[in-house]
Amino acid sequence: MLAASLVLAAGASAQTYPTRPIRFITVAAPGTVGDIIPRVVGQELAIRLKQPVVVENRPGGSGLVGATAGAHSAPDGYNLLLSTSGTMIVNTFVYSKMPFDSQKDFEPVALVASVPLVLVVNGSSPLMNFKDLVALARSRPGAVSYGSLGNGSTANISASILKKVEGVDMVHVPYKGAQDALKDIFADRLTMMFDFIGTSLPHIRSGKLRALAVAKSKRLDVLPDVPSMEELGYPGFDTTMYYGAYVPAGTPRDIVERLGQEFRAVLRQESVREKFAAIVVDPGELTGERFAAYQTAQFVRWREIIKSLDIPVE
């Protein structure tokens, strides 16, 4: 009788879920790519689930602020987290003590999007190309400053690879959000940044920013004249970041599977794919166990990358 009641309870949760609004925490600041993604997806999820999906911005600390809030939320299916590979994976290797265990404290729901990075400087900067940047860093140690969202962020890792390979000294300046870093680039208080292409592209097109390189192995269609890091002599350089959707560990399995199905359906919608294309974001296709397996492989990859870099453990 007990076993039967548990089966019936599980079935009931799948049939009745959801019955109230769903909170969708994002580790990104308002107005950024990581803010636009959950709003685009959340709008469609709300239609499919017939309940409001409320996006809540929790930026800061390389994503740790938002991810910690997600980890400590009730595992009832009404608390979703949109976090990055930098927060969930890279941070594991650059912080001596994490406020959560991203493999034990979360259930992976879906790989939502992949976002390439681009190396940008002020549009009026005398640095006309990547070689100019490297030459400045070599000739004047400490003269080049670069922004990121924190020690374990993908932007910082990208710049750290550059520092390591070229043997140059550049000053790291962490920010709470990418927009704050861009403001300092516009004001000539910051030299460069590896930024999400969707955030920087409008400024590149307007001339406020100049793109020196794409942090991938090949060029981007939207920036055909900008070389990839591999072209510039960095074989295998690809720090494309992904955004994943998670729920707290302990969330009922049937609800996790239901959410995975809904994310898969939403990410295949043409309207969503068009909105993602507008911010140069590739929609994900992995959900549930396939996403979990992909993330496990990424832990192995990034562990080796971090080991090779001079990134201080905090």
- The model's pLDDT over 187-202, given as tens digits with 9 standing for 90+, comes to 999 999 999 898 899 9
Give the pLDDT of residue 12.
Answer: 46
Give the pLDDT of residue 314.
Answer: 67
Polymer length in residues for the chain: 314
Same fold, 22-114+240-307 and 117-214: yes
For residue 312, give Cα distances in angstroms to 31, 96, 137, 256, 305: 30, 10, 20, 36, 14
Q: Taking 60 as the threshold, does the pLDDT of residue 8 lie above it?
A: no
Give the pLDDT of residue 109.
Answer: 98
Give the pLDDT of residue 95.
Answer: 85
Starting at the edge strand found earlier in the chain, the sheet holding 282-283 runs: 53-57, 22-26, 79-84, 241-248, 106-115, 282-283
- The model's pLDDT over 260-309, given as tens digits with 9 standing for 90+, comes to 999 999 999 999 999 999 888 999 999 999 999 999 999 999 988 888 88
- The model's pLDDT over 29-76, given as tens digits with 9 standing for 90+, comes to 888 889 999 999 999 999 999 999 999 999 988 789 999 999 999 999
Give the pLDDT of residue 128.
Answer: 97
Angle in degrees, 0-180, between the axes of helices 178-186 and 197-206, rounded to the nearest 10: 20
**Thinking of the domain 22-114+240-307, which architecture would CATH place it in?**
3-Layer(aba) Sandwich (3.40)
Q: Which fold has domain 117-214?
A: D-Maltodextrin-Binding Protein; domain 2 (3.40.190)
Domain ranges of the chain: 22-114+240-307, 117-214
Peptide bond preceding 18: is omega within 30 degrees of 0, i.e. cis?
yes
Give the pLDDT of residue 137.
Answer: 97
